[in-house]
Amino acid sequence: MGLFDRFKKRFKKSSKEEISVDEDSAEAKQAAEEGARMRQDIVKTREAPITAIPTEEPGDEWDEDDDTVPDPFAAPPRDRKERKKAERAASLEQAEKPEEPKQGKSVPDPMQSTTGRKLVPSGPVEIEVDFGDSATKTGGRVITASSKLDSLLEELEEELLTSDMAHSAVEEVISTLKANLIGTRLTGVKKLDIVLEEALRNTLLKILESGYWDFDQTVNAFLDEGRPVVIMIVGVNGTGKTTTTAKIAHRLSSQGKSVVLAAADTFRAGAIDQLATHADRLGVRCIRSQRGGDAAAVSRDAVDSAKARGEDIVIIDTAGRMQNKTNLMEELRKVHRVTQPHLVLFVADALAGNDAVTQAVEFQRILSFDGAALCKLDTDAKGGAALSIAHATGRPIVLAGVGQGYEDLLDFDPKWLIDTVLG
Ligand SMILES: Nc1nc2c(ncn2[C@@H]2O[C@H](COP(=O)(O)OP(=O)(O)OP(=O)(O)O)[C@@H](O)[C@H]2O)c(=O)[nH]1
Ligand SMILES: [Mg+2]
């Protein structure tokens, strides 16, 4: 029995009278207000949205002069229409900002790579929690804050923790869920368990789909601007970096792209041969040095060589390292500095559970990455780690490793993961 089924069973045992009130009561009105306030508070405390969307859609009244650029030295606008126009111009300017390279920005833009390039978003950036079908507009009862609701949410919290989700992620899920439940109407159509399941799914999806970019589209967009596109693979020991490098090489060369591998793991015995063997099997070039060579120099050679031959993709396979080993981390930063990779992918091991989350967070402090590839999802790993990595690092899981074969690399599907976690 999956997580949600176990929880639903307990939830069903509580009568809906215990957590809801009659729709015409003063408490119902209060609950609606409280829920709205809690949701607003959550929005306020979250980081800025992924793309600043102008609050107003362009209306007819601005069509005639949509292309006018506001003059920063112009006299302050006087009438209401002019004021509105200036506000709109400012908000549009704001909305366009993420597309420009930013320097010295403290909060990284989730849709920009570590080297300031634009990632191509995939799927909806924001998912609204929507209970709004007409059947729920009238009739039924309204969920209110109550100790019973709190104790039910506590039980759910425990279930989520056992699925390997990190504490901070679980806390946010629970508070978002609570805000979404309070003030929600229950009817014959929208029974308590259905409302709860929808709210939970949407809350989890929101975590996973935030900043989610599409691997193939992003690589193609980079290729339109020039070649080679450089992809750097990083992560702790044994998570699946070399296998993922080979899988990505297979994926991209199957699309007709020329791929070069850089054996930048000059540290572990056998690592260079391991990658070279993959390269032979896949029929792609592998740039290598002696064991103990300079990882940054090998990587740079691979990029220069691909550039000279007009090849499309360079994938840099780096050595696994613990995030607390400063000299090794410094070496990674050097590889990053000299190759300026279009994409940095953190490879995480789904089997590592909560450890994978700690590793991702600590790694990111030293070398930020653009997205994660979560490997070994074909094993009996619990999916909570993926939710937590995405929540804790603000970077999406974009690829999923589902086996040891070259074909076993999929675009990560947040919905699939949620089904797995909820059971
Ligand atoms: N079942 C399964 N095994 C995987 C997957 N990805 C990698 N592996 C296995 O995990 C083991 C380690 O993979 P590697 O690719 O060598 O890992 P690595 O991160 O390069 O390791 P180091 O270079 O030592 O840090 C190998 O036995 C792989 O076959 C996956 O998605 N599913
Ligand atoms: Mg390796």
- At 38, the amino acid letter reads M
Average pLDDT of the segment spanning 227-243: 96
With a 6 Å cutoff on the Cβ, whether 318 touches ligand 1 is no
What is the rounded CA–CA span in Å between residue 99 and residue 211? 14
Inter-CA distances, 248 with 225, 283, 371, 409, Å: 20, 13, 14, 8
Residue 133 has pLDDT above 50, yes or no: no
What is the rounded CA–CA span in Å between residue 200 and residue 99? 33
Kindly give the distance from the C-alpha atom of residue 317 to the centroid of ligand 2, in angstroms, as a whole number. Answer: 7
- At 53, the amino acid letter reads I
3-state secondary structure of 112: strand
Q: Are strands 259-264 and 285-287 parallel, antiparallel or unpaired?
A: parallel
With a 6 Å cutoff on the Cβ, whether 405 touches ligand 1 is no
**Given ligand 1 and candidates 232, 237, 243, which is best to mutate, with the most ligand atoms within 8 Å of its CB?**
243
Tokens of 27: 């408490």
Residue 389 has pLDDT above 90, yes or no: no
With a 6 Å cutoff on the Cβ, whether 239 touches ligand 1 is yes
User: What is the per-residue pLDDT for 140?
Assistant: 77
Q: What is the pTM of this model?
A: 0.76
User: What is the per-residue pLDDT for 79?
Assistant: 53
User: What is the per-residue pLDDT for 61?
Assistant: 32
What is the rounded CA–CA span in Å between residue 423 and residue 413? 15
Q: Are 299 and 245 in contact (CB under 8 A)?
A: no
Per CATH, the number for 3-48+125-209 is: 1.20.120.140
Q: Are 169 and 392 in contact (CB under 8 A)?
A: yes
- From the list 347, 350, 352, 407, the residue with the least C-alpha distance to 371 is 347
Q: Which atom of ligand 1 is nearest to the CA of 237?
A: 25
User: What is the per-residue pLDDT for 358?
Assistant: 85
What is the rounded CA–CA span in Å between residue 262 and residue 279? 10
Q: Are 186 and 16 in contact (CB under 8 A)?
A: yes
What's the mean pLDDT when you consider all of the chain? 79
User: What is the per-residue pLDDT for 288?
Assistant: 95
User: What is the per-residue pLDDT for 323?
Assistant: 64
Measure CA of the first residue to CA of the last residue in the chain; give whole Å: 7
With a 6 Å cutoff on the Cβ, whether 237 touches ligand 1 is yes
What is the rounded CA–CA span in Å between residue 318 and residue 332? 8
Q: Which atom of ligand 1 is nearest to the CA of 245?
A: 15
Residue 218 has pLDDT above 90, yes or no: yes
Per CATH, the number for 215-422 is: 3.40.50.300
Residue 249 has pLDDT above 70, yes or no: yes
User: What is the per-residue pLDDT for 122?
Assistant: 76
- Under 8 Å CB-to-CB from 318, ≥6 apart: which residues? 232, 233, 234, 241, 264, 265, 295, 332, 335
Helices (H), 118-270: 147-162, 167-181, 192-209, 215-225, 241-254
Kindly give the distance from the C-alpha atom of residue 347 to the centroid of ligand 1, in angstroms, as a whole number. Answer: 10
Kindly give the distance from the C-alpha atom of residue 397 to the centroid of ligand 1, in angstroms, as a whole number. Answer: 17
Residue 254 has pLDDT above 90, yes or no: yes
Kindly give the distance from the C-alpha atom of residue 205 to the centroid of ligand 1, in angstroms, as a whole number. Answer: 27
Query: Which run of H or of E encompasses 262?
Result: strand 259-264
Q: How confident is the model at residue 93 (pLDDT cuts 50, 70, 90)?
A: very low
Tokens of 39: 């949701």
With a 6 Å cutoff on the Cβ, whether 268 touches ligand 1 is yes
Average pLDDT of the segment spanning 38-67: 46
| Domains of the chain, residue spans | 3-48+125-209, 215-422
What is the rounded CA–CA span in Å between residue 135 and residue 383? 34
